[in-house]
Amino acid sequence: MSDMIKITYREAIKQSIRDVMQKDERVFLMGEDVGNYGGAFAVSKGLLKEFGAERIMDVPLSESGFTGAGIGAALAGMKPIVEVMTVNFSLLAMDQIFNNAATLLHMSGGQLNVPVVIRMGCGIGRQLAAQHSHSWEPFFAHVPGLIVLSVGTHEDARGMLISAMESPDPVIIFEYTFMLNMEKEIPADSGAVEIKKAKVLREGKDISLITYGAGVYKCLEAAEALGQEGIDAEVIDLRVLRPMDEETFLNSVKKTNRALIVEEAWRSVSISSEVISRIMEKAFFDLDGPVERLCGVEVPIPYPKHLEDASVPQVSDILDKVKKMLKP
Amino acid sequence: MSDMIKITYREAIKQSIRDVMQKDERVFLMGEDVGNYGGAFAVSKGLLKEFGAERIMDVPLSESGFTGAGIGAALAGMKPIVEVMTVNFSLLAMDQIFNNAATLLHMSGGQLNVPVVIRMGCGIGRQLAAQHSHSWEPFFAHVPGLIVLSVGTHEDARGMLISAMESPDPVIIFEYTFMLNMEKEIPADSGAVEIKKAKVLREGKDISLITYGAGVYKCLEAAEALGQEGIDAEVIDLRVLRPMDEETFLNSVKKTNRALIVEEAWRSVSISSEVISRIMEKAFFDLDGPVERLCGVEVPIPYPKHLEDASVPQVSDILDKVKKMLKP
Amino acid sequence: MEKKKKLDSKEGQRLLQQMILIRRFEEKSAEEYTKSKIRGFLHLYTGEEAVAVGVIQALTEEDNILCTYREHGHALARGVDPNAIMAEMYGKQEGCSKGRGGSMHLFDASKNFFGGNAIVSGHLPLSVGMALAAKKQKKNNVTCCFFGEGAAAEGEFHESMNLAALWQVPVLFVCENNLYAMGTAIKLTHSMQQLEKKGAAYGIEAAAVDGMDLLEVMEAVEKALKTIKEKGQPYFLVCNTYRFRAHSMFDAELYREKSEVEEWKKKDPIPKFQEFLLKEKLITAKKITEIEKAVDAQIQESIEFAENGTWEDAENLTRFVYSETESI
Amino acid sequence: MEKKKKLDSKEGQRLLQQMILIRRFEEKSAEEYTKSKIRGFLHLYTGEEAVAVGVIQALTEEDNILCTYREHGHALARGVDPNAIMAEMYGKQEGCSKGRGGSMHLFDASKNFFGGNAIVSGHLPLSVGMALAAKKQKKNNVTCCFFGEGAAAEGEFHESMNLAALWQVPVLFVCENNLYAMGTAIKLTHSMQQLEKKGAAYGIEAAAVDGMDLLEVMEAVEKALKTIKEKGQPYFLVCNTYRFRAHSMFDAELYREKSEVEEWKKKDPIPKFQEFLLKEKLITAKKITEIEKAVDAQIQESIEFAENGTWEDAENLTRFVYSETESI
Ligand SMILES: Cc1ncc(C[n+]2csc(CCOP(=O)(O)OP(=O)(O)O)c2C)c(N)n1
Ligand SMILES: Cc1ncc(C[n+]2csc(CCOP(=O)(O)OP(=O)(O)O)c2C)c(N)n1
Ligand SMILES: [Mg+2]
Ligand SMILES: [Mg+2]
């Protein structure tokens, strides 16, 4: 086993960008404020100096234009990393992503690959209010042709981009701005990670906590606390929101016979809806009771801290819910 | 009971537009080709002559601009009907719809109403290929602040818009271009319809077929055929995709103990995922077996007829599936 | 200059008071931010005060105003209650958006002050729509839309300019060109940096003005409004200005030289206008001190008001997602 | 004119052959449409042939071409196999997009022919990206992007023009101004109808040319390419033209007078060029007849090829959603 190092989520992402830039000259990073400003959230700080303005490209406020340009550059043999500052602004680039990146391969009968990687900051937690706190993973997870990754851990922050760059097909990567300053230990030699499978982060036999993104550490924390009370929870990070790896969570549910889905996105028509549906379809007879979920409350996120906190599931909510589910 | 008249889906919608235009001077219709061209699908043919160019406004190709202008006009006391020619182009207006129309009321602490109605053509069925055949109801149904209606029947084509115009909040209406030429009977005095509830279109006791949009007549046809074979299917048209009326389908499932969801949208993270989840959460113990679903195949829709047909559930698929579910 | 002659002592003092209020109100806000009383993003307008004050003084109460997230100055110049603004930034119920919006989402419908919009360029289409409504309603008001030079690179700028000119609606587009969009200099966002030249692409009359000089702004806006009213056409006014402080409280300002900032500070609009008033004997030094004191007292009051404000009950989290009235 | 002098007999005949091929190929397509052999949308280029032929003849094999859904002419002028085009419109596997795309989505990567894009303006950003890639790769090719005047009202036009000029990339934007966007006349879509004036808003060199005159187009494009290559900058070429036929096969042409169409037909580019060739003795009447015969034979062959083509097995429906190779 290799040594462990302490690293922030931000630094882990930055190192992954540096790795792929060093490895392949076709790679370049383009996005608003990725260069001179150092990245809206300081993720790319220092990279402009290291790689120069040709490879760390500041772009104008033109989400549709520059995302489309990234797709075009990918069509023409480059390997762009497009940073859409946050998912909140991605609606402006949605046509390019859904109608171009996701469909060109099929429309052209397999002729055109679109090896673009689009990274976006995502999620709630900084009191940025309604237009800046969206969790829109569900939109992207609905669209065939895309590979959709959610960075829920520091190892994935260090490795997912590296693996995504090998994909011949467009990859969307969600990074959680709330986690940027969080420090965790990862193996010193962390690098590329597998990007087809969900991951069991904690084994348990009493209930499956299925989650992704900002829910991952919350569920792990909840699982530890539940352990203190004699409840043995299994925690699964979905990681790949599309194409979804159902095998991992179905196996888990077949073992635990109970599941709770935890996500920060709005409840209706969400990732949790999809997970529940697949459990319904393929593990119904293994269930001891209905699968439940804790999701984002269906409200444009309000500004004040206490209302923001109330808008997404907290560790205490998970504890309460699990206890209610297991001890009726 | 009133007399019945024969009417096409197209004519029913046109009459509803005419009704609301006549009733309220603040109403105007804006969209690409709604005027001089007569509507991309001839829905608004003749209305320019009747109401003049001030009230039937042809707009440039500028989905974000004119949809936003519609929202702005609604803020300022008008009651615009914005026609986005088809949902395929709505991505260009998504920011205006999700970040403005859906959030302004909340962000402003209740000060600003956005009484805009946005109509869109939707769905598959005319061999228009990948960029012109989308069923994107799931995106809209995910977003709080919006009311999302799906026009699955001729009565709703005649009435939903009329009711939507009374809403103080933004309403999205999906119309199915494939159904435009379809002729059906409706009561001669059809008008406003209730827009908060799903509707049981056919009562039955053996299984609940839950659907919306282009699935409605397919399910009704399937139910008739099943009836011939002694299977008594209940058919529910969801109608209101957001906020979803779960009571109607939960009651149905509690009676039939079996459900199949039928939708044309892509399977993952869809309306059917949400319906299944709610059944899981609230009617689990009433189920005799897992709820199943027939959905759009996850592919950018291909052009040739046989492949297009294979991309969405057909009546025969429904029959096969129900029979498999009921006679194991 | 004609304007200078027209300005009487009372009006001059009122405008000075506004600029000082904005300056000090924001300085205080920054202080409260460091004390964590205010959170989220906080974008200060320091250095740009002459633009908001110069433009808004020329508007009537019926005119509509739309701004970006950098809108404290505009709200204050519009006469939105400073107490309600401070309370909003504190996230209290007594805030002008009931605490839901925070710094980026100040709204006051009673003052026709329509935000506080945090999607860059997202409010431009709204402004066109509001002006369209006014035209349809045969009102005589103007809609004034403020935005940054960064926003002018977005497609929404293009669509909105075209729609406004095409429909001949009374919008005043005010571009606050402060040379940076976050950390991205205008030379990296616009191929044509004399933004006023973009007016010709739409047949819109346009002008650029020194936005550091209140009198110049006043003169330019007078001409603009005259054109709008006489010709019933939109107008594009570029105010060249500079922000003295960081983009937001998160910004380390790596992208510009301190010396550049110092150079611009020499053009500070407040001392400049103060000197003008003194020179023209429209004010005395004593009166200035009185104004400053009054402003400080007002700000202190706003802090107390905000401190004493109340938190929304978390149970009311989902208020204002949909309207509480049934129809309009 | 210099160009006229340069044109030799062989080249002149080749260009005439291309225009006649496009004209007749499309007439035949319309016929096949009425026989239901071709379905979906079918947008004919009739009347506009001089634009595609005039522009594309000047491009090298390495240059990239992107078009709209009205692209049969461009594909033929590019040398995409007519058999493969016709088979594509039939939806057969032997089509240039393996039958997945149909008329609106012709692709041929081997010819650097990148569609066939059916979201109006959606391909403009792609073209900028392809040109950006070429610049980064230090290739010497140009990317040529065709679009309608309707598309120029979309935000993507603005963003793409700005990005191309800002990044100084070799794109030739060719606006095919045929005066209508579906049924909406240019006076209802553009406040500034001399579209070439929009170049100045970006510092892009621009020109307008009579798109009904092949020689004029050739001359204009030569100048444009020279500018692009010498200055390493984009160029905006507006070709004023007219479509003789309906927008698509669904269009009843309510929005324009027959007499207007007849007027324009007098400017038909094919007889005009034919007369020029005859007058300059670059062709004989006999040779013209030979060309026509050869073209007819070629079209007949394409029909047979398409008829004999095979249908994709419905089992392969989901091919090309993701790549079949693992990485690139
Ligand atoms: C569509 C969108 N993209 C990106 C952002 C992030 N962002 C917020 S302000 C800003 C810069 C805007 O610059 P400008 O328009 O010049 O206004 P200024 O802040 O200088 O007043 C950016 C990139 C956003 N809020 N919205
Ligand atoms: C974004 C988008 N909006 C609307 C449409 C529907 N539509 C297809 S072609 C067209 C007109 C386009 O006109 P123009 O750009 O002038 O090209 P032309 O068809 O005249 O060649 C419209 C409105 C579309 N395909 N894409
Ligand atoms: Mg700026
Ligand atoms: Mg056109």
The domain that contains B118 carries what CATH number?
Answer: 3.40.50.970
- The CATH number of the domain where B203 resides is what? 3.40.50.920
Residue B42 CB coordination number (10 Å) = 17
| B250 and B281 belong to one structural domain | yes
Residue B11 CA to residue B194 CA, distance in Å, equals 20
Instruction: Please report residues of B whose CB lies closer than 8 A to that of D91.
Output: 127, 303-305, 307
Distance C175 CA to ligand 3 centre (A): 9
Question: Does D138 contact A at CB distance below 8 Å?
Answer: no
pLDDT digits (tens, 9 = 90+) for D27-54: 999 999 999 999 999 999 999 999 999 9
Q: What is the pTM of this model?
A: 0.98
Question: Does C138 contact B at CB distance below 8 Å?
Answer: no
In chain C, where the domains are located: 2-316
Cα C162–C164–C166 angle (5° rounding)? 65
pLDDT at D1: 46
| DSSP code of residue B287 | -
| B95 and B50 belong to one structural domain | yes
| A165 and A19 belong to one structural domain | yes
Which of C154, C162, C200 lies at the smallest CB-CB distance from D200?
C200
Residue C194 CB coordination number (10 Å) = 13
Q: Which residues of A110-133 are buried (b: 16+ CB within 10 A; e: fewer)?
A: bbbbbbbbbbbbbbbbbbbbbbbb
Q: Is residue A300 part of a domain?
A: yes
Question: How does residue D5 score in pLDDT terms, banded at 50, 70 and 90?
Answer: low
| B266 and B157 belong to one structural domain | no
**Whose CA is closest to D66, among D172, D140, D156, D157?**
D172
Q: Is residue B86 part of a domain?
A: yes
Pairing of strands A56-58, A27-31: parallel
| A180 and A210 belong to one structural domain | no
Residue D274 CB coordination number (10 Å) = 19
**Residue D221, ligand 2, Cβ within 6 A:** no
Question: How does residue D2 score in pLDDT terms, banded at 50, 70 and 90?
Answer: low
Chains that touch D (3 or more CB pairs under 8 A): A, B, C
3-state secondary structure D183-212: CEEHHHCCCCCCHHHHHHHHCCEEEEEECC
Residue C189 CA to residue A78 CA, distance in Å, equals 22
pLDDT at A193: 98
pLDDT digits (tens, 9 = 90+) for C67-105: 999 999 999 999 999 999 999 999 999 999 999 999 999
Residue linked to tokens 């959610």: A150
The phi and psi torsions of C29 (rounded to 5 degrees) equal -60, -45
Cα–Cα separations (whole angstroms), residue D36 to A176, B275, D29, D30, D33:
51, 39, 10, 10, 5
Residue linked to tokens 């929870």: A233
Question: How does residue C326 score in pLDDT terms, banded at 50, 70 and 90?
Answer: low
Distance A126 CA to ligand 3 centre (A): 23
Residue B286 CA to residue B254 CA, distance in Å, equals 5
| The two three-digit tokens of residue D104, written as one number | 């609106």
**Residue C8 buriedness (CB in 10 A; 0-12 / 13-18 / 19+):** exposed
Q: How far apart are the first and last CA of chain B?
A: 43
> Quick check: A85 and A40 in contact, CB under 8 A?
yes
Instruction: Please report residues of D whose CB lies closer than 8 A to that of B92.
Output: 119, 154-155
Residue B50 CB coordination number (10 Å) = 12
**Model ipTM value:** 0.98
User: For C7-15, what is the mean pLDDT?
Assistant: 96
**Whose CA is closest to A272, among A102, A137, A125?**
A137
The one catalytic residue among B132, B154, B246, B264: B132
User: For A288-310, what is the mean pLDDT?
Assistant: 98
Residue D31 CB coordination number (10 Å) = 12
Q: How far apart are the first and last CA of chain A?
A: 43
**Residue C89, ligand 1, Cβ within 6 A:** no
Question: How does residue C328 score in pLDDT terms, banded at 50, 70 and 90?
Answer: low
Question: How does residue D249 score in pLDDT terms, banded at 50, 70 and 90?
Answer: confident
Distance A17 CA to ligand 3 centre (A): 28
| B38 and B154 belong to one structural domain | yes
pLDDT at C200: 98
Question: How does residue D291 score in pLDDT terms, banded at 50, 70 and 90?
Answer: very high
pLDDT for D238 beyond 70 = yes
| B158 and B207 belong to one structural domain | no
| Residue finishing a domain among B139, B158, B187 | B187
pLDDT at C4: 54
pLDDT at A206: 98
pLDDT digits (tens, 9 = 90+) for C117-162: 999 999 999 999 999 999 999 999 999 999 999 999 999 999 999 9
User: For D131-137, what is the mean pLDDT?
Assistant: 98
pLDDT for B245 beyond 60 = yes
- From D45, D74, D120, mutation site for ligand 2 pocket: most ligand atoms within 8 A of C-beta: D120
Q: Which residues of A161-177 are buried (b: 16+ CB within 10 A; e: fewer)?
A: bbbbbbbbbbbbbbbbb
pLDDT digits (tens, 9 = 90+) for B20-47: 999 999 999 999 999 999 999 999 999 9
| A157 and A233 belong to one structural domain | no
Q: How far apart are the first and last CA of chain D?
A: 49
pLDDT digits (tens, 9 = 90+) for C47-76: 999 999 999 999 999 999 999 999 999 999
Residue B294 CA to residue B306 CA, distance in Å, equals 18
What radius of gyration do chain B's Cα atoms show?
20
Closest ligand relative to A61 C-alpha: 1
Q: Is residue A193 part of a domain?
A: no
Q: How long is chain B?
A: 328
Based on the residue annotation, tell me whether A63 is a catalytic residue of this protein.
Answer: yes
pLDDT at A328: 65
pLDDT for D325 beyond 80 = no
> Quick check: D54 and D3 in contact, CB under 8 A?
no
| B150 and B213 belong to one structural domain | no
Average of per-residue pLDDT values in chain A = 97
> Quick check: B100 and C126 in contact, CB under 8 A?
yes
- Domain total for chain B? 2
Average of per-residue pLDDT values in chain C = 96
pLDDT for C258 beyond 80 = yes
- The string of DSSP codes covering C96-121 is TTTTSS-TT---BGGGTEEEE--STT
pLDDT at A125: 93
**Residue A31 buriedness (CB in 10 A; 0-12 / 13-18 / 19+):** buried
Residue D269 CA to residue D23 CA, distance in Å, equals 11
Domain housing A222: 199-326
How near does any CA of chain D get to the CA of C31, in Å?
38
| Residue finishing a domain among B136, B163, B187 | B187
Q: Is residue A298 part of a domain?
A: yes
pLDDT for A84 beyond 80 = yes
Which of C154, C155, C166 lies at the smallest CB-CB distance from D154?
C155
Q: How far apart are the first and last CA of chain C?
A: 49
Instruction: Please report residues of D whose CB lies closer than 8 A to that of C189.
Output: 166
| B12 and B139 belong to one structural domain | yes
pLDDT for B2 beyond 80 = no
How near does any CA of chain D get to the CA of A158, in Å?
20
Beta strands in B34-146 (DSSP E): 56-58, 79-86, 117-122
Query: Closest residue of C to B28, CA-based?
Result: C136
**Residue C181, ligand 1, Cβ within 6 A:** yes
Q: Which residues of A92-102 are buried (b: 16+ CB within 10 A; e: fewer)?
A: bbbbbbbbbbb
Q: Do A132 and C101 touch (CB under 8 A)?
A: no
Distance B167 CA to ligand 3 centre (A): 38
| The two three-digit tokens of residue B105, written as one number | 């009321």
Q: Is residue B22 part of a domain?
A: yes
> Quick check: B13 and B83 in contact, CB under 8 A?
no
pLDDT for A1 beyond 80 = no
Query: Closest residue of A to B107, CA-based?
Result: A130
Which of A72, A109, A144 lies at the smallest CB-CB distance from D129?
A72
pLDDT for B188 beyond 60 = yes
Q: Is residue A34 part of a domain?
A: yes
User: For A155-176, what is the mean pLDDT?
Assistant: 98
pLDDT digits (tens, 9 = 90+) for D149-207: 999 999 999 999 999 999 999 999 999 999 999 999 999 999 999 999 999 999 999 99
| The two three-digit tokens of residue B231, written as one number | 């299977």
> Quick check: D233 and D208 in contact, CB under 8 A?
no
| B215 and B163 belong to one structural domain | no
pLDDT at C57: 98
Question: How does residue C322 score in pLDDT terms, banded at 50, 70 and 90?
Answer: very high
Chains that touch B (3 or more CB pairs under 8 A): A, C, D
**Residue A89, ligand 1, Cβ within 6 A:** yes
Based on the residue annotation, tell me whether B154 is a catalytic residue of this protein.
Answer: no
> Diameter of chain A by CA atoms?
61
User: For D17-23, what is the mean pLDDT?
Assistant: 98
User: For C281-306, what is the mean pLDDT?
Assistant: 98
pLDDT for C3 beyond 70 = no
Q: Which residues surround ligand 3, an ion (CB under 5 A)?
A: C 148-150, 178, 181
**CATH number, span C2-316:** 3.40.50.970
pLDDT digits (tens, 9 = 90+) for D65-123: 999 999 999 999 999 999 999 999 999 999 999 999 999 999 999 999 999 999 999 99
| B150 and B258 belong to one structural domain | no
User: For D314-321, what is the mean pLDDT?
Assistant: 97
| Residue finishing a domain among A187, A216, A236 | A187
Q: Do B66 and C105 touch (CB under 8 A)?
A: no
**Residue C60 buriedness (CB in 10 A; 0-12 / 13-18 / 19+):** exposed
How near does any CA of chain D get to the CA of C187, in Å?
8
How many Cβ pairs within 8 Å bridge chains B and C? 152
pLDDT for A223 beyond 50 = yes
pLDDT at B327: 82
Residue D61 CB coordination number (10 Å) = 10
The phi and psi torsions of A112 (rounded to 5 degrees) equal -110, 115
Number of H helices, E strands in chain B: 12, 14
Cα–Cα separations (whole angstroms), residue D117 to B188, D44, D186, D322:
44, 15, 21, 19
| Cis ω for the linkage preceding B109 (within 30 of 0) | no
Q: Which of residues 71-100 of C touch B (CB under 8 A)?
A: 95-100
Closest ligand relative to D121 C-alpha: 2
Q: Is residue B192 part of a domain?
A: no
